[in-house]
Structures are given as C-alpha cells and as structure tokens.
C-alpha cells in the first residue's frame, strides 16, 4: 500500500478563476466584441452572464471555504476599472474591494491577477500588446490597483500566461484579434515581457505593504517527436519561445530570441518574488513548415486526452517544477486541471498531478500552492461553455453550483493536507 502524500504546513489549496470567464457582462473588453461578431466561438455560445460571479462572489467564496479551501485566485477586469483611457471607475474599484473583503471574511488568502487575456476595447483599438505604449499603460494600471487595494492583497500576479497572448492572438489566430502575423506576435512578445517589469515595479512602489509579486507562466514540457536532430531542434525552439524566453528574460532582464537579441530592459532583471506555474500538458514537436519551422504532433490515438484534445502527461508537470527550481524563486501552482465530462477522470488526473507536486517538493522545489482550474464550469474562451473544468457544475438556467465527486475528493485533500495512500495506489501505481 502506498503512503499518504503529506504536504508542507501552510500549503495553499484552492481554485483559480478569471474575470471574463466567470463574472458575466464584461462588455468593455475585446473578447465581448469578438463573441458578438459571431462565428468565433466553437460551440456558438457567448460569455453573456457567464456564472454571474460578479453578483454571486460572496456565496462562491463561502462555498470554497466550506469545501475546505484556504486560498483563491481571481482576476481584476481591467476594462471595468479603466473603461476609457485614463478614466478610472471608482465604483468598480469598490466592487473589487468588496470582493477582497469577502475573501478575507471567508478565510481565503487572495491571489490577484491583473491581466488575464482581456483588454479594454480602447487598448485593443490602439493595437493592444503590439503598441509600444503597452508597458507604460499596464504599469500605470498595476500601480493604480496597488494604490487602491494593496492593503488587502498579499499576492499579486501580473500577467496570466504571457506566451499564450502572442501565440493565440497573432500566430494561431484563435483569440482576438485573430491575426496570423509573426512580426506582430514578436512585437507583442517584447511588450508583454517589458510589462512584466513595469507592472512589478509599479506595484512595489505603490503597495502599502510588502506583497509578493510575480508572473503566471504556463510552461509546456516540449519533447521531440523522434531522435532526429531536426525534431530535437524544433523542441528546443518551442522550449525557448514558450518557457525560456520569459523565465530567462526576467532572471537576466533581457529580451532574447525569438523576439529580441538579448538587449537589456531597465527594471526587468529579477522582477519576480514568486512565480506562478500553470500546467496542463506537454508538446511533442517535429520539424516542419509551420511558424518558426515547428510542427506540433497530435497525441497518439492510445494516449489519454482531455476534451480539449490535450494529452494527460503528469511527468511533464514534475519536469516543469524541477526546471523552475533553477530560478530560485518560490513556485505557486496557479492553475492545473482537466476539461472532461468524466469526473472520475478528473479525480484520477488530480491524484496523478498532486503526486508530481509532492515528488517535486520532496526533490527540493519550493512549491507553496495548488490552485485548481477551475472552481465552477465556465466560459472556456474560443471553446465556449462546452468544456468542463470545474469541481462544481454550473447548472444551466439557474446557474446553481452543483458539487461534483471531485469537489468531495478535493475537500478531503485540502482539509487534511494530504492525498490518501489508497488513492495513490489506485491511480498512480
């Protein structure tokens, strides 16, 4: 029989969400406009009222607490706070103050993301991340939030998943503005990396306390499809763009390949106290004619996948955490989870991924949280509502939160700060 997996005292267990996916009625951002245009969301849905979390946040937080969680990650919707350039909406600032108060009252430690995929329409219209003013504008927004709400925020997460932004919006063309232009993608990648510095420094300057600040990187574990030198080179290139460009960029304060040639960015070097890690899957790469000479190989038919088509590959989670060890900043798992209609698969996925977190901690990685994606089923971007990542279902029509088996399982783990040996035996061995 396998031993229980015990986690360090003070470990954070909870869930993560993002404003546009759960709040509802975020009408001032580029996603809303893109959804309304029609034809852009795979299942034909739009975010609409989403989970109505904007009005139900207090119940949601009480629910998390009752279900054993001690932390929660959410994002502040920039387009609510700054609906027009330079114009701050104080009513919305008050809204997020109430959100933070409610988290504290519920006994949940807040992790606050400042940018999670959505841009105010005015920013998008000026070219969004491709505009060279982006680092200044994002820094200003971050500083404003730190000044307004900083007394209630112990953990600030600046930008969610920097590598996804240029890739999805300007390479794959599956997020707005849905372009396929490598030059624009690289411009965006430069400005996003620079913004990680300006945002960090603005928060540091304006926050009244001494919060922990960092980016949220969604690492992929990039492996070659074969032993050929060409495929290995493709995997290295993927790793450089997806992981190293950001991680080494912050550590060294430089813009490296593929968006720069190592030029220094003042204020960027070491602009992280912590690093958020989102992990979902691995990437298998082959040399090809795609962008940068990369071809991503689909999982083999016998591989376990999610309804997103992503391969379940827990070993890659461990490898990513081990990789972060080398950067010597505390690691917070800010997202991990699976889109599936089979909740038993979710439990199995979770046990296998918790096992890797435990293994990484045993091997010396300073991992301090596991925030599951997501609390409740929600608007999964270009996939729509069809994808189910929640521990809770969101009932159609009533929007009631209905606990799944995985919510019960997660409660037991979180409350006891351990994964029972019998489940390790069942799902890992």
Residues acting as catalytic residues: 161, 335
Please say which residue, 7 or 381, places its beta carbon nearer to ligand GAL: 381
Q: Which is nearer to ligand GAL, 22 or 138 (CB)?
A: 22
| Structure-block tokens of residue 98 | 């109430």
CA distances from 333 to 155, 226, 320, 354, 373 (A): 13, 30, 11, 11, 10
Please tell me whether residue 305 binds ligand GAL under the rule CB under 6 A: no
Cβ proximity of 273 and 212 under 8 Å: yes
Q: Per CB under 6 A, which of residues 48..77 are in contact with ligand GAL? A: none
Select the residue interacting with ligand GAL from 317, 373, 409, 427 (CB under 6 A).
373
Tally of CA atoms within 13 A in the half-sphere of 404 that contains its CB? 22
- Applying CB under 6 A, the site for ligand GAL has a residue count of 12
Nearest Cα to Cα of residue 220 among 323, 369, 71: 323
Q: CA-CA distance, 381 to 378, in Å (whole number)?
A: 9
Q: Read off the DSSP letter of residue 329.
A: S
Q: Work out how close the CB of 47 gets to ligand GAL at its nearest, in angstroms, rounded to a whole number.
A: 12
Does position 18 interact with ligand GAL (CB under 6 A)? The reply is yes
Nearer to ligand GAL by C-beta: 377 or 380? Answer: 380
Near ligand GAL by CB under 6 A: residue from 70, 218, 305, 369:
218
Instruction: Tell me how far apart the alpha carbons of residues 107 and 68 are, in angstroms, rounded to a whole number.
Output: 10
| Two structure tokens written together for 133 | 């003013």
| CA proximity to 119, closest of 145, 132, 136, 137 | 137
Strands (E), 258-329: 263-264, 275-278, 282-287, 294-296
161 is a contact residue toward ligand GAL (CB under 6 A): yes
| Minimum distance from residue 199 beta carbon to ligand GAL (Å) | 17
Write down the least CB distance from residue 378 to ligand GAL, Å.
8
Q: Is the Cβ of residue 123 or residue 279 nearer to ligand GAL in the bound state? A: 279
CA-to-CA distance for 214 and 41, rounded, in angstroms?
31
CB of 18 to ligand GAL, least distance (A): 5
Which of 76-84, 87-95, 157-165, 364-372 is the region at the interface with ligand GAL (rule: CB under 6 A)? 157-165
The stretch among 156-164, 181-189, 239-247, 265-273 that binds ligand GAL (CB under 6 A) is 156-164
- Our finding on whether 381 is near ligand GAL (CB under 6 A) is yes
The rounded distance, in Å, linking the Cα atoms of 52 and 21 is: 10
Task: Report the C-alpha gap between 247 and 272 in whole angstroms.
Answer: 10
Figure out which of the listed residues 160, 195, 320, 336 binds ligand GAL, where binding follows CB under 6 A: 160
Toward ligand GAL, which CB reaches closer, 245 or 373?
373
| Radius of gyration of the chain, Cα coordinates, nearest whole angstrom | 20
Binding interface with ligand GAL (CB under 6 A): 18, 21, 160-161, 164, 218, 278, 335, 373, 380-381, 389
């Amino acid at each position: 029989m396998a031993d229980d997996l015990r986690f360090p005292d003070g470990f954070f267990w909870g869930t993560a969400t993002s404003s546009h996916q759960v709040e509802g009625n975020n009408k001032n951002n580029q996603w809303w406009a893109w959804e309304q245009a029609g034809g852009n969301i795979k299942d034909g849905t739009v975010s609409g009222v989403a989970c109505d979390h904007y009005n139900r946040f207090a119940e949601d937080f009480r629910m998390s607490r009752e279900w054993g969680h001690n932390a929660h990650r959410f994002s502040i919707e920039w387009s609510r706070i700054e609906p027009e350039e330079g114009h701050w909406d104080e009513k919305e600032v008050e809204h997020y103050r109430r959100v933070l108060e409610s988290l504290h009252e519920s006994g949940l430690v807040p992790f606050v993301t400042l940018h999670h995929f959505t841009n105010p329409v005015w920013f998008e219209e000026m070219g969004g991340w491709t505009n060279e003013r982006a680092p200044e504008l994002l820094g200003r927004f971050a500083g404003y939030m730190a000044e307004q709400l900083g007394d209630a925020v112990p953990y600030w997460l600046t930008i969610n998943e920097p590598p996804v932004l240029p890739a999805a919006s300007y390479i794959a063309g599956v997020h707005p503005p849905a372009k396929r232009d490598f030059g624009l993608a690289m411009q965006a990648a430069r400005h996003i990396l620079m913004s990680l510095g300006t945002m960090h420094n603005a928060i540091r300057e304006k926050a009244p306390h001494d919060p922990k600040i960092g980016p949220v990187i969604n690492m992929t574990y990039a492996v070659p499809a074969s032993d050929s030198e060409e495929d290995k080179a493709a995997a290295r290139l993927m790793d450089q763009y997806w992981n190293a460009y950001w991680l080494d960029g912050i550590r060294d304060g430089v813009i490296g390949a593929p968006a720069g040639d190592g030029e220094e960015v003042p204020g960027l070097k070491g602009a992280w106290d912590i690093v958020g890690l989102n992990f979902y899957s691995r990437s298998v790469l082959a040399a090809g004619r795609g962008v940068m000479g990369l071809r991503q190989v689909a999982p083999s038919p016998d591989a376990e996948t999610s309804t997103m088509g992503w391969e379940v590959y827990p070993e890659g989670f461990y490898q990513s955490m081990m990789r972060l060890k080398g950067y010597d900043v505390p690691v917070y798992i800010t997202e991990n989870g699976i889109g599936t209609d089979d909740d038993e698969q979710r439990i199995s996925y979770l046990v296998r991924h918790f096992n890797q977190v435990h293994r990484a901690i045993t091997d010396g990685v300073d991992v301090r949280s596991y925030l599951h994606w997501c609390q409740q089923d929600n608007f999964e971007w270009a996939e729509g509502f069809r994808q189910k990542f929640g521990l809770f279902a969101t009932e159609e029509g009533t929007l009631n939160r209905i606990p799944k088996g995985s919510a019960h399982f997660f409660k037991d783990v979180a409350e006891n700060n351990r994964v029972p040996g019998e489940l390790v035996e069942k799902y890992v061995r």
